Amino acid sequence: MSPVRCIIYCIFYCLLLSLSFTAIAENLRFALIPKEINNPFFVATGEGCRVAAAKLGNVECIFRGSSNIDVRAQDKIISDLIEEGVDGIAVSVSQSEFLASHSIQKAIKRGIPIITYDADFDRETLNKYQNLRLAYVGSNDFELGKALGKQLMLHRPDGGSVIIQSGRPDSPNLKLRVMGVRSALSGKSYILPPGERLTGENGWTEFSEPLYNLGQFDNALRDLKTVLGSYKSRQIDAFIAVGGWPQFIDGYRELVEPYKMSLEKKEIILLIADTAKIQLEYLRENLAHGNIGQNPFEMGKQAIFTLHKIVTKQEYKKEINIPLTYCTPENYSTCVKE
């Protein structure tokens, strides 16, 4: 081959590669799958997903989930998206073993990259299934729970009786949060989440096992109503929700307002995870003592950016830590940065 023909061939080949890459890049479709699609926390992750897709310019954000926390429904959504031919999936894990042994295996066989956000697979599942996911984007759930516990200790340094509210008992990230609360209050380290029920360590006891609302906002509000209506007779000093459930439904303000004086006197302490706008309003109105939150919008953004780097063969971080936000009635207007 002559030098001239060789140069022309190389230029033509490089042009084909460039056009192929552009065609691929212009058609990337990434799915963000929350535990439940109607939760304000996950709605914000969807907003982050769309902003990241728009910024990349050649990516479509698919935000799809079930109306409540249902691992089988989530598994079917993942399977459907695989059949639709998406280029990558970010999932907030509702239950580790089931997803890992069903739809995620299907995705791996198809060569579709999987990352997790907000809620990762638990340690046992990650050990059992090698290369289950390529990255995790989210906050440290154990530290979130620990921060809630530490905040309670500021209000009740001598201990007391606490009730913990959680979502599902098999949710990996929520188990870590419960363990964080217990670790902060007891001063103990636990091997496996959710730790052990408090029975007097450092002056702290748990009135009961955690109240599990199964991710249902109305159940969460009903549990809180029961606690507020009986905390004096049952000698309950604090209520900690490791998710924002009771504040994500209409009725929280009406329920808590009659107890506002009791909250101000710290007869009972209310601490709740997440820092959505409505939750900051409740802090402004002194209808809670504090909220420890994350940055769901940033989670959604970084999940899409990470999938894009993976698919386009760029370097990426296998773990992206999203900092926590610490909000109180004193700093509610500045604690969350957009």
Q: pLDDT (tens digit, 9 = 90+) per residue, 97-146?
A: 999 999 999 999 999 999 999 999 999 999 999 889 999 999 999 999 99
Q: Distance between CA 299 and CA 303 in Å, rounded? A: 6
Other C-beta atoms within 10 Å of 156: how many? 17
Is residue 308 over pLDDT 80? Answer: yes
User: For 141-293, which CATH superfamily applies?
Assistant: Response regulator (3.40.50.2300)
Q: What is the pLDDT of residues 19-67, one digit of tens each?
A: 444 444 458 999 999 999 999 999 999 999 999 999 999 999 999 999 9
What is the pLDDT averaged over residues 248-261? Answer: 97
* The two structure tokens encoding residue 295: 């940055």
Is residue 228 over pLDDT 50? Answer: yes
- φ and ψ of 215, to 5 deg: 80, 5
User: Higher pLDDT residue, 27 or 89?
Assistant: 89
Rounded (10°) CA dihedral 127, 131, 144, 40: -130
* The two structure tokens encoding residue 300: 């959604």
Residues 6+ apart with CB under 8 A from 221: 245, 246, 249, 251, 252, 255
What single letter denotes the amino acid at residue 308?
Answer: H
What single letter denotes the amino acid at residue 326?
Answer: Y
Q: Distance between CA 163 and CA 206 in Å, rounded? A: 6
Sign (positive/negative) of CA torsion 8, 14, 16, 19?
negative
- Is 3-139+296-323 in CATH node 3.40.50.2300? yes
Is residue 338 over pLDDT 80? Answer: no
Question: What is the location of CATH 3.40.50.2300 in the chain?
Answer: 3-139+296-323, 141-293
